[in-house]
Structure 1
Amino acid sequence: MRLITLFAVCLFALLLPGSARAACSLASNASASLGTAGSYAVKAGQVAQTSAQSGLTCTGAVLSVLSTNYARASASSTNGFRLRADSSDTIAYRLSADPGGTFSFNQGATVDYFDPTLISLLGLLDKTDFAPPIYVNLTDMPNIAAGTYTDIVTIQWSWRICGGVGVGGVCILTYTGSGSTTLRITLVVTSDCRIDTPDVRFGSAPLVNGFVPVTQAARVDCTKGSLFTVAFSSGQNGTARPWRTMTDGAGNRLNYNLYRPDGITIWDETNPLADPRPGTGGTTPSLLQTFVARIDASQPTPPPGSYSDVVTLLISF
């Protein structure tokens, strides 16, 4: 009887591979960041997909499509799979186990990462470590205010994974478990603007006092709900006071300036104008920024030619 007992112990030791030390654990929380994007980029669907670790990690496991292996996950969202900001605006998103969204969690589905198609798609087959990814992709293109948009997702897990294979491919060591992990999803949306600035044309005249003032408007719109100020740069001459300057490319100069609608107050970076109208997020700008352009009639008339300058409209939040 003593010899039989020793033989049985030795046989068991031979069947258990020394490399089979599989263990699975859940992170208490994980995060997925969609980065930072302007509100118009969100509206145009230009926010790139992101991925993160889903919270489950197994090491030393034999990853195969054995019928006994599974790692099942289901997800519940605080905001119904929508990112939400303090403004109460929301952005819908898809949470999935694969980049293409075939294995989606959004409709309450349970996803098994050992599904033959999924495990092959993710390139996890025959690996010895298992850290399944999760993908976040915006599915909405709303007109939204700036802010930090978040959602909290709870992922429920259950798993049964082979940790060692003996003679004949029989699993001799199985690891099972269940639990949950929390995933925080974040997108920072920044203020942005759309601007339409038509050229200002004074026309032609033989003398500087022949140019009449031009009243014109730039069109602006900015992120929904944003307050902003408007100014014009000093132009290529680098100064707006007392005059901005147009040149003919040969060193000759023609003084002019841009003024607020009153036609008196110089409108430049040192004197921006706050627009009392909040942005609407409109793609086609419609908020008029009226200004007056006037050539200095007291300056000596420069040589005939075509004079020009480039001025930038500046928006500040």
Structure 2
Amino acid sequence: MSLARLLVALLLALGVPGVAQAASYCTVSNPAFTFQPSSSYDVQAQTIPAINGSAGLTCNASAIALLGTNYANATMTSANGFKLLTGPGSDAIPFSVSADQAGTIPFTQGGTVNYTDSALLSLGILTGGTFTPKMYMKLSAGPNVAAGTYTGTLTVAWSWNICIVAVVVCVTSDTGTGTSTIVVTLKVNADCKITANDVSLGSAPLASQFGMATKAVLTDCTRGSSYQVSFTAGGNTSARPWRAMSDTGGHSLQYNIYLPDGVTIWDQSNPQTNQANGGKGTGLVSPAQQQTYKIGVNPAQTTPPAGHYTDTVSVVLSF
């Protein structure tokens, strides 16, 4: 009788510690998600690539099996309602978060996603003894925003019950809770656009008979950004005292580009603040800020041989 009691006591002594001292196989982390730095026009066009990474929970063991009673629940809240901001009252860039690349299992404010769902497991987040849920993020709208670093904070409350397997038997379960704080970042860079058409000064028998023409280029830059406008020297080494058009025979016709006063040479040594909207860009995709200039031939030069004279000048925006 005493022997039987001794055997039972030994079995209990061998069995109890294995349950009471079960190892922790799952850990919670605070991953960061960073979109590719892009221009404000990329934001509007929604051409910024989607990003993905760890959802914040990782389980590692010799083997894991997810049975009908197991779960890995992620409940998400967004501090800014799934918007990236530069600060209170600032521009907002909406974004979306999902548990799958196709976006068919989205996260909502206060909503819960169970990563043991068969549709998610089919994506390969469970491999042998590794369980690695992922998140996918992309911009969900294309607003016209100012340059800056935009951030958002997601809080994910985790609860899980994961079956740890030895051979074919579920020997224990890792059950726990934890919180991931995920910071999402997008740096928006300033950018500019230009529309500049070719200019023809017509024809005249003498250099002194060319009139001065008034023209304009259309420009714009990221909303709220300041920029300056200038013109390169073209084919000449300098715009001063004259730029020069040339023909195929190497002959030159002197001319210049001026500020609207028709007197002050407009080149890269004399950049001018954007003439529209108080010097600030509006961020419109099609540039509409008019930069007026005058262009004229040097009337005092000796008239070169008849021919077709051209020069290529670039418009430079500095921002």
TM > 0.5: yes
* 252-261 or 276-285, which deviates more: 276-285
Counterpart in the other structure of 1:88 = 90
Counterpart in the other structure of 1:278 = 280
| Deviation of the 1:74 alpha carbon | 1.2
Contact 1:61/1:162 (8 A) holds in 2: no
2:130 paired with 1:148: no
Contact 2:59/2:132 (8 A) holds in 1: yes
Structure 1's unaligned 5+ residue stretches are none
Contact 2:230/2:272 (8 A) holds in 1: yes
Instruction: State the Cα deviation string for residues 57-87 of structure 1 (Å, max 9, x = none).
Output: 2112634442133211011111011001146
Q: Partners in 2 of 1:106 and 1:243 — Cα distance?
A: 64
Counterpart in the other structure of 1:212 = 211
| Deviation of the 1:277 alpha carbon | 3.2
Q: Partners in 1 of 2:225 and 2:233 — Cα distance?
A: 25
> Structure 1 residues 227, 11: CA separation in 2 closer, same or farther (over 3 Å shift)?
same
* 296-305 or 32-41, which deviates more: 296-305
- Any idea what SS the aligned residue of 1:245 has? strand
Counterpart in the other structure of 2:316 = 314
User: How many residues align structurally?
Assistant: 309
Counterpart in the other structure of 1:132 = 133
| Deviation of the 1:6 alpha carbon | 10
Structure 2 counterpart of 1:126, one-letter code: T
- Any idea what SS the aligned residue of 1:118 has? helix
Q: Partners in 1 of 2:127 and 2:31 — Cα distance?
A: 26
> Structure 1 residues 175, 305: CA separation in 2 closer, same or farther (over 3 Å shift)?
same
| Deviation of the 1:96 alpha carbon | 1.1
> Structure 1 residues 183, 207: CA separation in 2 closer, same or farther (over 3 Å shift)?
same
Q: Partners in 1 of 2:51 and 2:114 — Cα distance?
A: 21
Instruction: State the Cα deviation string for residues 111-135 of structure 1 (Å, max 9, x = none).
Output: 11110011112x2243322222211
Q: TM-score scaled by structure 1?
A: 0.90
Q: Partners in 1 of 2:178 and 2:230 — Cα distance?
A: 57
Contact 1:163/1:175 (8 A) holds in 2: yes
Instruction: State the Cα deviation string for residues 234-279 of structure 1 (Å, max 9, x = none).
Output: 2132321111121223322222111110111111111100123321
- Any idea what SS the aligned residue of 2:308 has? coil
Q: Partners in 2 of 1:158 and 1:178 — Cα distance?
A: 4
Contact 2:62/2:166 (8 A) holds in 1: no
Aligned partner (choices 108, 119, 143) of residue 121 of structure 2: 119
Contact 1:50/1:137 (8 A) holds in 2: yes
| Deviation of the 1:143 alpha carbon | 1.1
Contact 1:65/1:115 (8 A) holds in 2: no
Q: Partners in 2 of 1:100 and 1:68 — Cα distance?
A: 27
Aligned partner (choices 85, 98, 101) of residue 99 of structure 1: 101
Superposed, 1:1-317 pairs within 5 Å as: 1=3, 4=7, 8=11, 23-27=25-29, 29-60=30-61, 62-86=63-87, 88-121=90-123, 123-166=124-167, 169-275=168-274, 276-317=278-319
| Deviation of the 1:303 alpha carbon | 2.1
Contact 2:152/2:184 (8 A) holds in 1: yes
| Deviation of the 1:175 alpha carbon | 0.7
- Any idea what SS the aligned residue of 1:156 has? strand
Contact 2:84/2:94 (8 A) holds in 1: yes
Q: Partners in 2 of 1:66 and 1:143 — Cα distance?
A: 48
Structure 2's unaligned 5+ residue stretches are none
Structure 2 counterpart of 1:85, one-letter code: T
- Any idea what SS the aligned residue of 1:43 has? helix
> Structure 1 residues 273, 74: CA separation in 2 closer, same or farther (over 3 Å shift)?
same
Contact 2:78/2:109 (8 A) holds in 1: no
Structure 2 counterpart of 1:293, one-letter code: I
Identity of aligned residues (%): 42
Calculate the aligned-residue CA RMSD, in Å: 2.5
| Deviation of the 1:231 alpha carbon | 0.8
> Structure 1 residues 236, 6: CA separation in 2 closer, same or farther (over 3 Å shift)?
farther
Structure 2 counterpart of 1:73, one-letter code: A
Q: Partners in 2 of 1:137 and 1:53 — Cα distance?
A: 15
- Any idea what SS the aligned residue of 1:35 has? coil
Q: Partners in 2 of 1:129 and 1:250 — Cα distance?
A: 75
Q: Partners in 2 of 1:163 and 1:238 — Cα distance?
A: 76
Instruction: State the Cα deviation string for residues 197-239 of structure 1 (Å, max 9, x = none).
Output: 1111111122211211111011112211111111111213232
- Any idea what SS the aligned residue of 1:179 has? strand
Q: TM-score scaled by structure 2?
A: 0.89
Contact 1:63/1:124 (8 A) holds in 2: no
| Deviation of the 1:280 alpha carbon | 1.4
